[in-house]
Chains A and B, each alone.
Chain A
Amino acid sequence: MTSLPDKTDKKLGLVIDLDTCVGCQACVTNCKEWNTGGHMAPLTDLNAYAAEADGVWFNRVHTYEVTGSSACGASTSRTMHFPRSCLHCEKPDCVTVCPTGASYKRTSDGIVLVNEDLCIGCKLCSWACPYGAREFDVFEGVMKKCTLCVDRIYNENLPEEDRVPACVATCPTGARHFGDLGDPNSAVSKLVAERGGVDLMPEMGYAPTNKYLPPRPRKDTATSVPAKELTPVAATGFLGWVDKLLSR
Chain B
Amino acid sequence: MHPAFSVIFFTTASGAGYGMLATLGFYAGHDALPQNVWFSITSMVVALGLVTAGLLSSTFHLGHPERAWRAFSQWRTSWLSREGVAALLAYIPACAFGLAWVFPALEWPARILGPLMIPFALGTLFTTAMIYRSLKTIHAWHNKWVVPCYLVLGPMTGAVFVLALSAGFGVTLKFLAAFSGALLAAGLVVKWLYWTFIDSTSAASTPATATGLSGTGPAVDVKSVEWPHTEANYVMKEMGFAVARKHAQKLRGIAIWLGFMVPAILIESSVMLPLPQLSFLAIPAAVLMAVGIVVERWLFFAQARHVVTLFYGAKSA
Contacts and interface: CB of A to CB of B under 8 A. Distances in A.
B224 A64 contact: yes
A68 B210 contact: no
A156 interface: no
Nearest to A126: B238
A57 interface: yes
A146 to B, nearest CB: 13
Contacts of B84: 99
A1 B307 CA distance: 27
A82 B205 contact: no
Contacts, number: 209
B311 A198 contact: no
Interface string A199-220: 1111111000000101101000
B212 interface: yes
A112 to B, nearest CB: 14
Interface stretch (B12-20, B146-154, B163-171, B213-221): B213-221
A56 interface: yes
A239 to B, nearest CB: 60
Interface of A: 1-4, 18, 28, 51-57, 60-69, 79-80, 82, 84, 93, 95-102, 118-124, 126-132, 135-138, 140-143, 198-205, 212, 214-215, 217
Interface in B1-32: 1
Given A53-B231, A61-B228, A204 B137 contact: yes
A120 to B, nearest CB: 5
A245 to B, nearest CB: 66
Given A97-B78, A135-B235, A214-B213, A129 B137 contact: yes
A57 B232 CA distance: 12
Interface in B97-131: 131
A68 B216 contact: yes
B228 A28 contact: yes
Nearest to A4: B77
Among B74, B84, B233, B238, max chain A CB count under 10 A is at B74
Contact of B64 (A98, A101, A142): A142
Contacts of B217: 68-69, 217
12 contacts: A3-B76, A62-B228, A64-B207, A68-B217, A93-B135, A99-B71, A99-B80, A128-B136, A131-B311, A132-B311, A200-B209, A203-B205
Contacts of A101: 70, 73-74
A51 B231 CA distance: 8
Contacts of B138: 127
B229 interface: yes
Contacts of A3: 76-77
Contact of A63 (B64, B68, B226): B226
